[in-house]
């Protein structure tokens, strides 16, 4: 049972209608993995995102893995990937025995730097098989610039939109730009099925192949016959029911997270040394997590001191993702920084903090977080 006095970074927020879809599945005895909830969830999410088709799978990681398989990524191939992200963006590269090359962020979106991407391409001895672009914390990357570069080199894009469901880029939904888009319904995401993911694309044929690979790659034969290696990656019909009810309230959840962000900005948007993650012009950030950088010289305390102080009050806050090029797992892997001299993701990791951002946070809970931070800011002022 979750601790009711603890304020979490992002906790599941049920709508109350999940049970209806689950009960329906029980009534029809559709407990078997696939079934009508899966089909409907796929259709509804594809319509929401504005793409031709969607395949429901067991996790966002599984969706990325399937995308790489469909793009023919094999042992020895290179795959370019955003560095500032959760490890799940890159683990599937390793599943395929391929080699990641990490690309830095740029300051406007904290996402993949088109300049660094261009340098990586121009210096590549062989072209990568795919580019994995992440939309961090619910902010779309600069998709026009990135797509233009990748199109010029003829390399397909996998858009890791696990954190950006409901966000927009120039009027189109985040996740609809790459050859494949990926969503996650893990417990801490903006909507959840407790665990699950979705692979989306305008290539209906490719998604048919994805469903085939995700169900052990079983050939059409009266007996069990298999000609290639597959996975057990499909979403269960029960969880898809949860997903359908969650999708109904997605826009409300985006609205609630954006207003949590706005409260923080009202409270200490002007604080010296505090810089909130920007929302780039022409995009809509879903504010999955409110993130900011703290300059210790100006603010008078470090990001870690803030995180520790919040922890004393049973409030969960975290540093931003540790860039993948700094992970022990990826020691020695190639990395292209934003400019030759400056790595943006290193700086964001050093200074970045994620604040509690759940759509189910009460006014009182937001007040609790704000007052702890305000007290820290006051104390610094007094001691000056």
Ligand X SMILES: *Cc1c(COP(=O)(O)O)cnc(C)c1O
Distance CA 269, CA 277 (A): 11
Nearer CB in complex with ligand X: 40/135: 135
Q: How far is CA 325 from the centre of its chain?
A: 18
Q: Summarize as ranges the residues that interact with ligand X (CB under 6 A).
A: 59-61, 85-86, 88-89, 134, 160, 162-163, 184, 186, 197
The answer to whether 345 and 84 are in contact (CB under 8 A) is yes
Tell the smallest beta-carbon distance from residue 110 to ligand X (Å). Answer: 12
Angle at 142 (CA atoms; ends 141, 143), nearest 5 degrees: 90
Complex with ligand X: residue 30 or 185, whichever CB lies closer:
185
How many residues would you count in the chain?
384
Taking Cα atoms as reference points, which of 182, 176, 119, 180 lies closest to residue 153? Answer: 119
Alpha-carbon distance of 339 to 321, in angstroms, equals 20
Report the residue number, 138 or 156, with the smaller CB distance to ligand X: 138
Unique residue bearing structure tokens 């920007």: 278
- Residue 76's CB is within 10 A of a number of other CB atoms, namely 11
Residues with Cβ within 8 Å of residue 195, at least 6 apart in sequence = 58, 59, 185, 186, 187, 239
- Encoded tokens for 72: 């023919």
Minimum distance from residue 23 beta carbon to ligand X (Å): 25
Kindly tell me which of 321 and 336 has the beta carbon lying closer to ligand X: 321
Give the torsion through C-alpha atoms of 114, 119, 122, 126, to 10 deg.
-90
What is the rounded distance in angstroms from the CA atom of residue 2 to the CA atom of residue 11? 9
The residue ranges of DSSP E strands in 139-196, in sequence order, are 157-160, 168-169, 172-173, 180-184
Q: Which is nearer to ligand X, 89 or 283 (CB)?
A: 89
Minimum CB separation of residue 312 from ligand X in Å reads 27
CB of 117 to ligand X, least distance (A): 17
Closest to ligand X by CB, 174 vs 366, is 174
| Closer to ligand X by Cβ: residue 214 or 299 | 214
CB nearer ligand X, residue 132 or residue 361: 132
Least distance from ligand X to the Cβ atom of residue 225, Å: 30
DSSP code of residue 45: H
Question: Minimum distance between the CB of residue 1 and ligand X, rounded to whole angstroms?
Answer: 22
Report the DSSP pairing between strands 274-276 and 290-294: antiparallel
**Residue in 5, 167, 149, 169 with CA at minimum distance from that of residue 80:** 149
**C-beta of residue 175 within 8 angstroms of C-beta of residue 159:** yes
Biggest alpha carbon–alpha carbon distance for the chain? 79
Beta strand residue intervals within 302-383, DSSP E:
318-319, 335-336, 352-355
Closest contact distance (angstroms) between CB of 63 and ligand X is 8
For ligand X, give the closer residue by CB, 96 or 184.
Answer: 184
- Site of tokens 């660094």: 116
Q: 273 or 319, CB closer to ligand X?
A: 319
Beta carbon of residue 86, minimum distance to ligand X (angstroms, whole number) = 4
Closest residue to ligand X: CB criterion: 60
Burial of residue 174, with CB atoms counted within 10 A of its CB: 0-12 exposed, 13-18 middle, 19 or more buried = buried
Quote the least distance from Cβ 89 to ligand X, whole Å. Answer: 5
For the CB of residue 122, give the shortest distance to ligand X in the complex, in Å. Answer: 27
């Amino acid at each position: 049972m979750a601790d009711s006095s603890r304020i979490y970074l992002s906790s599941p927020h049920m709508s109350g209608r999940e049970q209806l879809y689950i009960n329906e599945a029980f009534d029809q005895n559709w407990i078997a993995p696939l079934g009508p909830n899966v089909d409907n969830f796929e259709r509804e999410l594809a319509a929401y995102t504005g793409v031709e088709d969607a395949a429901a799978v067991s996790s966002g990681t599984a969706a990325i893995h399937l995308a790489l398989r469909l793009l023919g990524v094999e042992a020895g191939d290179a795959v370019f990937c955003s560095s500032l992200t959760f490890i799940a963006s890159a683990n599937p590269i390793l599943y395929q025995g391929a080699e990641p090359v990490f690309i830095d962020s740029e300051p406007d979106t904290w996402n993949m730097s088109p300049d660094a991407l261009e340098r990586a391409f121009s210096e590549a001895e062989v072209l990568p098989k795919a580019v994995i672009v992440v939309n961090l914390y619910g902010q779309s990357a600069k998709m026009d610039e990135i797509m233009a570069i990748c199109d010029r080199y003829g390399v397909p894009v996998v858009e890791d939109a696990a954190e950006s469901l409901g966000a927009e880029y120039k009027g189109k939904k985040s996740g609809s730009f790459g050859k494949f888009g990926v969503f996650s319904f893990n417990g801490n995401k903006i909507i959840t099925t407790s665990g699950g993911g979705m692979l989306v694309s305008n290539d209906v044929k490719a998604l048919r192949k994805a469903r085939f690979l995700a169900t052990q790659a079983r050939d059409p034969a009266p007996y069990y016959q298999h000609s290639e290696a597959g996975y057990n990656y499909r979403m269960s019909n029960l969880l898809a029911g949860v997903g359908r009810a969650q999708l109904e309230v997605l826009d409300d959840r985006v609205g609630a997270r954006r207003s949590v962000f706005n409260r923080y900005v009202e409270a200490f948007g002007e604080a010296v040394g505090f810089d909130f993650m920007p929302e780039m012009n022409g995009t809509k950030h879903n504010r999955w997590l409110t993130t900011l950088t703290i300059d210790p010289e100006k603010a008078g305390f470090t990001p870690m001191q803030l995180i520790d102080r919040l922890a004393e009050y049973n409030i969960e806050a975290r540093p931003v993702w540790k860039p993948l090029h700094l992970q022990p797992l990826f020691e020695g892997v190639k990395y292209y920084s934003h400019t030759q001299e400056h790595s943006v993701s290193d700086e964001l990791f050093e200074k970045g903090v994620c604040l509690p951002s759940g759509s189910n946070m009460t006014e009182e809970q937001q007040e609790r977080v704000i007052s702890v931070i305000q007290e820290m800011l006051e104390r610094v002022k007094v001691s000056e």
